[in-house]
């Protein structure tokens, strides 16, 4: 690590299929951030098991997600991309931080309430303490910044509270992380209900474009996207469906919404939707080709997994040793 180089941490769950929203809103941005920070990008498989998973499917999806990180353009020997479960420090630090987190703080977490409602038959302790593991993920690497959406801001605030509480007792052990403030990725909404985000778990198959959708599927979903009866391509809150399609087209072509409006002035939604679909294909097809190429190279992916697990563990242990010493755990004798 270079002196004064700032650290960034982020991760994605190995559940469901990544959507165009995940790519344009986060993954695409991660590639650029690798030039500015020492980045740790985790496949957060420990978080995934708060909901019951098929073991073989989880392993398959975790490897596929790590491969997608690389296919999207992240250099795995520049940024550290790794499986959370391969670094025991995540679970170790999470337990310690549990003992410095209050029940009242966890009771206020809105995501626990939301997920409990969705999984009423499996409201487990992991679901409740999930934000503490998230805090451990961030603090383990002394992250300076964390790119978070509005829905995760509450968790980052809790992370800051826990770190400040620990530091107040034991001294300056943890870096207090800040939300990443910079050029935010596009917020892509559902193609069928533009009032909500495009989601990996949407039950409507036409609502989300998935990263591995083929060309015909992408074009069909764009043609079926909800618009309105105004027949005007305008970037307006009064036209949420059209505005969402403009955001997608803008992100895929690097054109401003104003430029898009001008390009489709006097044209109908049919032409516009066709162009949106083609722009999405132009972005996803190279990513898909690279993914299939990487998937065939087992030795290379295995090398990435092994070397990055060792790199992540090295940084994790540096923090964990300090924490264990401060809380009073006996050190292993050097004989």
Helix locations, 141-268, DSSP H? 153-170, 215-223, 240-253, 257-263
d(CA 66, CA 305): 9
- What amino acid positions are annotated as catalytic residues? 115, 197, 200
**Tokens at residue 276, please?**
């949106």
d(CA 94, CA 98): 6
d(CA 214, CA 210): 9
Q: How far is CA 250 from CA 15, 254, 259, in A?
A: 28, 5, 9
- Is-contact 212 280, C-beta < 8 A? no
Q: Which 3-state string (H, E, C) describes 80-137?
A: EEEEHHHCCHHHHHHHHHHCCCCHHHHHCCHHHHHHHHHCCCCCCHHHHHHHHHHHHH
Longest Cα pair distance anywhere in the chain, in angstroms? 80
Neighbours of 5 (CB within 10 A): 10
Unique residue bearing structure tokens 């999470």: 94
């Amino acid at each position: 690590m270079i002196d004064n180089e700032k650290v960034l941490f982020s991760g994605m769950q190995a559940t469901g299929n990544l959507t165009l929203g995940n790519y344009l809103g986060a993954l695409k941005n991660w590639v650029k951030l690798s030039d500015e920070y020492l980045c740790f990008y985790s496949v957060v498989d420990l978080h995934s098991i708060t909901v019951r998973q098929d073991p073989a499917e989880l392993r398959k999806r975790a490897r596929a997600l790590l491969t997608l990180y690389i296919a999207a353009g992240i250099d795995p020997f520049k940024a550290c991309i790794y499986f959370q479960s391969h670094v025991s420090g995540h679970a170790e630090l999470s337990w310690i931080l549990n003992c410095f987190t209050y029940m009242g703080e966890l009771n206020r977490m809105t995501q626990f309430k939301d997920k409990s409602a969705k999984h009423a038959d499996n409201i487990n302790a992991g679901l409740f303490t999930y934000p503490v593991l998230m805090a451990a993920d961030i603090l383990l690497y002394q992250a300076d910044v964390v790119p978070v959406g509005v829905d995760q801001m509450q968790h980052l605030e809790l992370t800051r509270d826990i770190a400040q509480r620990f530091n107040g007792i034991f001294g300056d052990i943890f870096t207090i992380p800040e939300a990443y403030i910079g050029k935010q990725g596009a917020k892509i909404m559902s193609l069928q209900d533009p009032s909500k985000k495009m989601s990996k778990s949407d039950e409507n198959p036409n609502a989300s474009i998935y990263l591995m959708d083929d060309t015909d599927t992408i074009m069909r979903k764009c043609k079926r996207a909800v618009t309105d009866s105004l027949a005007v391509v305008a970037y307006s809150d009064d036209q949420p469906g059209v505005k969402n399609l403009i955001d997608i087209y803008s992100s895929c072509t690097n054109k401003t919404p104003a430029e898009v409006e001008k390009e489709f002035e006097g044209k109908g939604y049919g032409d516009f939707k066709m162009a949106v679909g083609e722009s999405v294909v132009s972005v996803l097809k190279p990513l898909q080709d690279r993914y299939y190429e990487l998937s065939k190279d087992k030795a290379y992916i295995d090398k990435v997994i092994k070397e990055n697990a060792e790199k992540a563990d090295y940084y994790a242990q540096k923090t964990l040793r300090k924490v264990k010493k401060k809380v009073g755990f006996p050190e292993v004798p050097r004989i």
